[in-house]
Structures are given as C-alpha cells and as structure tokens.
Amino acid sequence: MKEDFDMNVSLDGKVSIVTGASSGIGLAVTKAYLESNAAGVVAVFRRTEIPAELEECRAQFGSKLQIVHGDVAREETAMEFTRIALERFGRIDILVSNAALSVVKPIHQHSPEEWDEVMNSNVKAVYWASRHIVPVMIKQGGGLILLSGSISGEVGIPTQGAYAPSKGALHQMARQMAVEYATHGIRVNVIACGTVDTPIVHTSAVKSGDPEGYWEMLKSNHPIGRIASANEVASFYTYMASDLASFFTGSVLMMDGGFTAR
C-alpha cells in the first residue's frame, strides 16, 4: 500500500535551544525554527547587545523567543539555558550546538590559551550542554541534538589549527552519543558545512587585502561554484529537526557543495 507523506516541514510543538544565535548560521536557524511554528526557541550567545533581526523576531513571535547571554565554554551557561527552556516551555526537544571559535594559524603557532579557548568553546561546550540536556531528554523519552561540524573536521585545510581537530572531535562525539543514547529515543547528528556567507567571512575577505580574489578563491574551492547562504543552511537544519528526518542518527551530513567529494 502506498504511503502518503506530508512534505511540509513543521516544528509544531517543538522546543529548541540554539547556541551561537547572534549571527550567521545560528541566527538563520533561530529565525527558521520560529517561522516553522516551533513552540519555543532559546537563543544563546555571548554578545550583550541583541541583533536587530532577533529584536524583529521577538516583536513577531513574542515569548516564543527567549534569549540567554553567556559563554558556552562555561557550565553556568548550559545550566542557565536548560533552566530557561524548562521554566518557559516545559521541555527540550532540540539542541543545536552551533557556537564556535576559530584561530587562523597552524597548530604549532597556537598559544596554549588559544588552543584551550577553541577546544572549550567548540568541544567542551557540547559536553556541558549534554551534561544538563541529555537527562532532560531521557526523562521525556527522546530528543534531537544537532552539532555544527565542518569540512575541516573531515579534511586537512591550511591554517585551520585547533579548529579542525575540534570539529573532528564533534563528528566523533555525534557517533558516540548516537549509539549511547539511541535506546532513550535521543538522536544525534552533525551538519558539516563548507564555506557559508556569514559576517565572519566578509571580515576575513577584507582582512585578506584582496577581497575580490578572496571571494573567488572560496567559490572555486567548491565544485558547485559558489558558497552557501545562511538561509539555505538553516532550511536543512529545519528539515533535520523535523519528524521527516526521524531515521537519521549518528550521521555526519556534508553540506559542502562537493568540497569533500574531490
């Protein structure tokens, strides 16, 4: 018998926490989740000022959007965003662990402080979040964790320093956690992007001294001939958070325009 499938991507009734939500992918994901009828989104970021886009979301969606300011490298932040989600919405269905730092230099040129800062923000932050959110998901009978990986977690790229090992660690954490928590109904996946058009990339282009050449280099590195927009990446995060993607777990999904296929 032929099954009928509803291809409308909806997050109706789902509550999400999104880290690194003040710009780039995190901001786009926060907006996309709210627009997909999520019951609530807790947006987490270090900046004290609230971006205009989030102010617009708050005006449109009201209390469905909650904001937590904090450094994801600290356990206190994980405790706070877990508390807010449960206090305001009563459950946590989705964690999008997206916040990250990068130091652009070879490994041997990193100071010990730089190495620890990258690893704490990109890897230990997932541990802190899991320490508080996984018990909630176990108690409620399931949930989803989406980790923002990278092409740098799969291949070597010059000057990726501590960033590349940190993303490789996330890819393996997803596999480990997927196996560990499958019996509790918790799924864990990585979305590993190529270059995405974000404010950080624009800043890097200016600092390169040859913005036009820098953009051309980024585009040519991807067989598809361009880089991704934050909105198209967010659409995939939305699909992966929906019930349409319920058979995915332990997956490292390369959204990279063919970068790692070469």
The enclosing domain of 83 has a CATH number of: 3.40.50.720
* Structural domain contains residue 63: yes
* Structural domain contains residue 259: no
* Structural domain contains residue 225: no
* Structural domain contains residue 2: no
C-alpha distances in angstroms, 108 versus 53, 114, 162, 186? 39, 11, 10, 38
Q: How many residues does the chain have?
A: 262
Q: Residue 76: exposed, middle, or buried by beta-carbon count in 10 A (0-12, 13-18, 19+)?
A: exposed
What is the Cα–Cα distance from 148 to 159, expressed in whole angstroms?
20
* Structural domain contains residue 6: no
What is the Cα–Cα distance from 160 to 123, expressed in whole angstroms?
15
What residues does 254 pair with on adjacent strands?
Answer: 192
* Structural domain contains residue 256: no
Name the phi and psi angles at 92, rounded to 5: -135, 110
pLDDT in tens, the chain (262 residues): 344 444 579 999 999 999 999 999 999 999 999 999 999 999 999 999 999 999 999 999 999 999 999 999 999 999 999 999 999 999 999 999 999 998 888 999 999 999 999 999 999 999 999 999 999 999 999 999 999 999 999 999 888 899 999 999 999 999 999 999 999 999 999 999 999 998 878 877 787 788 898 889 889 999 999 999 999 999 999 999 999 999 999 999 999 999 999 8
Helix (H) or strand (E) holding 197: strand 196-197
Structurally, the chain folds into a number of domains equal to: 1
Give pLDDT, residue 7: 54
Q: Residue 134: exposed, middle, or buried by beta-carbon count in 10 A (0-12, 13-18, 19+)?
A: buried
State both tokens at 59. 């005006």
Domain with 126 in it: 15-197+230-249
Give pLDDT, residue 1: 39
C-alpha distances in angstroms, 148 versus 4, 134, 190? 32, 18, 6
Of 241, 254, 218, the closest CA to residue 32 belongs to: 241
Whether the Cβ atoms of residue 170 and residue 98 lie closer than 8 Å to each other? no
Give pLDDT, residue 42: 98
DSSP E strands in 103-157: the ranges are: 143-150
Give pLDDT, residue 143: 98
Whether the Cβ atoms of residue 165 and residue 121 lie closer than 8 Å to each other? no
* Structural domain contains residue 182: yes
Give pLDDT, residue 5: 45
* Structural domain contains residue 96: yes
Q: What is the pTM of this model?
A: 0.94
Catalytic sites, residue numbers: 163
